[in-house]
Structure 1
Amino acid sequence: MCQTQQDKEKELSFLKLLQTKLVDGLIFTSIESEWETIASYKECDPIVLCNEYRSEATFRVVRLDQVKGSYLGTLHLIEKGHQKIAYCGGTASELGMDSEKGFRKAIDEFNLQVKEKWIFRDPYSIECGKRVLREIRAMEDRPTAIFTGSDEICCWNH
């Protein structure tokens, strides 16, 4: 298991390990390189994409139901008594859009209001999580919980 930390060069070095048979296979949970670059390693199979939403992908893909997962996560916060919930996730990809759909489905089902200033789009790093937390802590009317689609974003509630 290797962490690229969104570094294309590291990603390519791991693909080369597969190509030279120093590893038996790779599981990617995100891809930083252009698809054509990744696809050029097809003959080095096995490569599995985990939760990648690449329509052009020709490798095996394991995907989660982002709409359902986000709905259930938001529902959990609602069941814990939170009515002021922020959303912190992506919209630039199908994965991010599905995540927000699930969030909004739960919010709408319980007739909760979400202020636009409680919506944070496309932060995926620890540093982004810290920035979001600072922004929320500076608000007078702030959410009591944050739903996030990234494991690097800090979850916070008070």
Structure 2
Amino acid sequence: MAARKATALDVAKLAGVSRSAVSMVLNGNIKGNVSKDAQERIRAAAKELNYLPNPVAVSLRNQRTATLGIITDEIVTSPFAGRLVSGATNAALARGYMILVVDTEHIPGREGPAIEALQHRRVDGLIYATGSLQPYIPSGPFRAQPAALANCFDPEDRLPAVVPDEVTGSRRATELLLELGHRRIALLGGDDDNAALLREQGYRSAMDRAGLTAGDHQVIVTGWDINQGYRAAESVLQEPDRPTAILAANDRVATGILLYAATAGIQVPQQLSVVGYDDQQNVAANLVPALTTVALPHAEIGAIAVKRVLDELEGSERRTERVLVPCPLITRQSTAPAP
């Protein structure tokens, strides 16, 4: 015969509290009615008895499903920002919520039905997340219930938006090269999208602060892929007064630069320092030499976006300001003092 499952009454008896106190604590409805000591005893008793509240019953009482819906444009189906969903999932689980994810793969017309499908499943809140930093115009469902944006922003700031601090990240990377004595620093940028422009802003800010004039700035629109980085490096590094350091649009462009340098016999970092951007998983740390880069804090972005939605669900006022998440500089072997 199977062992009897523990009940809320069993937890209450072991913890020495009322059954209603157990219900309040384990369902997240404390609101100051249960002392901290009692809360700890209840959680310890629940753990000892391996007791979990019935999710269906909790859902019926709270009129909630304890699920959040995330719609992404390409995160699930591309290798570049999966940590965002991972960070969101961990933050949700820590507060008793599950995540449902739909990836539109940039297919026109897929987003609307995806939102409808999530609402049909009665998700308690919505998050829209993008693989690259960009504006997003939220539709009615996002404005009608707790919602947030991750790695994107509403130009009219009607929703909370959690985005990387691209300007400071790029400025800090440039400052590292300046501190190493480099003055001929080239930026091989992405294109004219939001992230590229912000990274250029950080680069120019650091160069200006170091007393270098606009004539000392070298910004080349390159693109985002390995072959584009290779071609741009081939052009820039054949100049007589070639740069001693390059700040790349991302780690893929930096990979192209390293490949060209190896082909041309240019030693990295002895003759050329290279800095990437993204700290792309399974790439940056495994290049030869290992790549100094600016990390995009995707996991933190996902976690903070979930926190904003859950806080609103629990009664906090909607805060629509943009949250800038720091982009840490990861120093590895591809940077050294200027030759």
- Greater C-alpha radius of gyration: 2
Structure-to-structure mapping, 1:11-26, within 5 angstroms = 24-25=100-101
- 2:133 match: 52
Question: Identity of paired residues, percent?
Answer: 23
State whether residues 133 and 194 of structure 2, in contact with CA within 8 Å, keep that contact through their aligned partners in structure 1.
Answer: no
The 2-side partners of 1:49 and 1:113 are apart by 36
Provide the TM-score with structure 1 as the length reference.
0.69
Q: Which moved more, 1:58-67 or 1:93-102?
A: 58-67
- Describe the SS at the equivalent of 1:75: helix
- 2:17 match: none
1:86 to 168, 181, 186: 186
- 1:104 match: 204
Q: CA deviation at 1:54?
A: 1.6
- 1:118 match: 218
RMSD: 3.2
State whether residues 70 and 149 of structure 1, in contact with CA within 8 Å, keep that contact through their aligned partners in structure 2.
Answer: no
* Paired letter, 1:42: I
Q: Deviations over 1:84-126 (max 9, x none)?
A: 1001113412222111110000000001246589321141100
Alignment: residue pair count: 137
| Compared CA separation, residues 56 and 74, structure 1 to 2 (3 A) | same
The 2-side partners of 1:116 and 1:26 are apart by 46
Q: CA deviation at 1:47?
A: 4.9
* Paired letter, 1:94: N
State whether residues 185 and 217 of structure 2, in contact with CA within 8 Å, keep that contact through their aligned partners in structure 1.
Answer: no
- Describe the SS at the equivalent of 1:81: coil
| Compared CA separation, residues 75 and 120, structure 1 to 2 (3 A) | same
* Paired letter, 1:111: G
| Compared CA separation, residues 67 and 90, structure 1 to 2 (3 A) | same
Q: CA deviation at 1:130?
A: 0.4
2:78 counterpart of 1:3: yes
- Describe the SS at the equivalent of 2:236: helix
2:115 to 24, 42, 52: 42
Q: Deviations over 1:61-96 (max 9, x none)?
A: 131011111101111111111111001113412222
The 1-side partners of 2:170 and 2:110 are apart by 29
Q: Which moved more, 1:123-132 or 1:111-120?
A: 111-120
State whether residues 85 and 145 of structure 1, in contact with CA within 8 Å, keep that contact through their aligned partners in structure 2.
Answer: yes
The 2-side partners of 1:98 and 1:84 are apart by 21
2:227 counterpart of 1:127: yes
State whether residues 166 and 195 of structure 2, in contact with CA within 8 Å, keep that contact through their aligned partners in structure 1.
Answer: yes
